[in-house]
Amino acid sequence: MAKKLKDWFDGDCATLLGRAIKANHKTFDIDSYAAEVDSGVRPLELKDRVGLMSDALRARLPEDYKEAAAIIADSLGLPFEGEAGMFTSGYWLMPVARLVEDHGTDELHISLDLCEAITQRHTAEYAIQPYLELYPSETLTRIHQWVRHPNSHVRRLASEGVRPRLPWARRLTAFSENPHPAVAIAHALRLDPSRYVRKSVANLINDISKDHAALVIELVGRWQDDVSQDTRWIIRHGTRTLRKRGLMG
């Protein structure tokens, strides 16, 4: 039987993460971290397991978040060369992304730097959400910079990060009510050379269509001029909810 995703987040995962941290923070106690995690995660589901690992990690790093962030940044390992491995090779970084999400909101720019670094090895699509809520203008400015980033994982973060109905995440109410900032990201990435990014764009406009059908119909109408097969695929995949509702052919 295949191992459930939640079961990867246990004492062994804590040991793997702890070894990476200890290489840059010599006083880090791997054994106590792994023991705390292993004894606490067994009754928990995925998000709570990751939260426990995140909180226990934060408690063992320097109180100064800038110092803690520097240790984390040095412990992430090499970025992926391709577009695979985010949830396989890089799964052990999920508690690190959660740490940024839960504990870094007083340090916007440091945390956005970490999100950019983490997403090249795992994902930061959940970590970015509190920053969009607390610092919408500044975070959107950074996201627009990510649209032009040479790394496809970072460009994908620009799209995934503004999804108002991202699975497993709380709804981004601001973008449900005013989708125009998210539409601008989708429009900027619609011709991205990476299918990985284009799939995210399609999922983004599908999210938007659930609350703003007419806006998405108008948007993809403008995209019809992009007659490439890739753009047609985005339109088809991104309007699947509209077609189920009978609003598009």
- The full 3-state SS of 36-97, as one line of letters, equals HHHHHHCCCCHHHHHHHHHHHHHHCCCCCHHHHHHHHHHCCCCCCCCCCCCCCCCHHHHHHH
Q: Which tokens sit at 115?
A: 């999100």
Domains of the chain, first to last: 1-127 (no CATH), 161-249 (1.25.40.290)
- Global confidence as pTM: 0.94
DSSP assignment letter at 131:
H
DSSP assignment letter at 6:
G
Amino acid 3: pLDDT? 82
pLDDT of 93-131, one tens digit each?
A: 999 999 999 999 999 999 999 999 999 999 999 999 999
- Interatomic CA distance for residues 234 and 169, integer angstroms: 23
